[in-house]
Amino acid sequence: MKWTTRLLFAAGLFTASYGLQSCGEPAQAAPTAPVINQESAPKGDDFSYAYGMLLGSNLKAMGMEYSDVEVIELLAGLRAAMDADEKPLMDQAAAQQLVNKTFQEMQAKAGEANLKKGQDFLAKNAKRSKVKVTESGLQYEVLKEGVGGKPSINNKVKVHYHGTLIDGTVFDSSVDRGKPISFPLGNVIRGWQEGLQLMPVGAKYKLYIPADLGYGQRAAGKIPANSALIFEVELLAIE
């Protein structure tokens, strides 16, 4: 994607990069700056290079590539924002609006791609003999049978789980933390609500959750918008 001339108005850039985290929940914490001894703090060229690295890291974290940014215009925006003698080509409000609009368009495009990848994965996965598909589109695989009762939507349950994206990226895992969690079943995503009500206590299922039964168009922490999700869930107890 080529950016429109003078798109990046520097005064609003960091605000935009961190502010966009509110589009998804929970937002990941921004990296904290290291504490620097002021007497030995870098100056001049060192500081400029370091600040440029931080700026580049933030842009990369938002899914941008070097080719997406018109560096000359980026520098022009920086100069206009910092030089009292130079009049910017737009005010900060207009710059912020333009940057936010562009990032929203990028996120929407990425979401469409994620949705297609998830649909393709689930269509192929549904053909596996061990996978069962419900009317809603939820897919599940029984890894271990259980012998206890099944929870209802009004129950509180205790589970161990391991969650990944379809590419294997782990986004959350009580198993890795070594501590199961308890929660009201009615308070979680629809894929979990439906899947856990199929499970007897003691069972372990692998749930393949379409985006519309997960977080949908919302990004959530390490989960991009419109992502299909995979969970290995063990139902330990109904509380």
208 belongs to the catalytic site = no
**Catalytically annotated residue among 172, 176, 212, 230:** 172
**Catalytically annotated residue among 121, 140, 161, 205:** 161
C-beta separation of 9 from 77 below 8 A? yes
238 belongs to the catalytic site = no
**Residues near 175 by beta carbon (within 8 Å), at least 6 away in sequence:** 160, 161, 162, 232
User: In Å, how far are 159, 161, 163, 168 from 179, measured between CA atoms?
Assistant: 9, 10, 14, 21
161 belongs to the catalytic site = yes
9 belongs to the catalytic site = no
C-beta separation of 139 from 133 below 8 A? yes
231 belongs to the catalytic site = yes
DSSP state of 161: E
User: Which pair of tokens denotes residue 176?
Assistant: 């890795």
- Interatomic CA distance for residues 101 and 55, integer angstroms: 19
* Closest alpha carbon to 3 in 110, 95, 92: 95
**Catalytically annotated residue among 9, 205, 208, 215:** 215
Q: Helices (DSSP H) in 11-132: which residue ranges?
A: 13-19, 45-61, 71-82, 92-125
C-beta separation of 77 from 8 below 8 A? yes
**Catalytically annotated residue among 14, 68, 171, 212:** 171
91 belongs to the catalytic site = no
| Cα 231 from chain centre | 16
Active site residues: 161, 171-172, 189, 215, 231
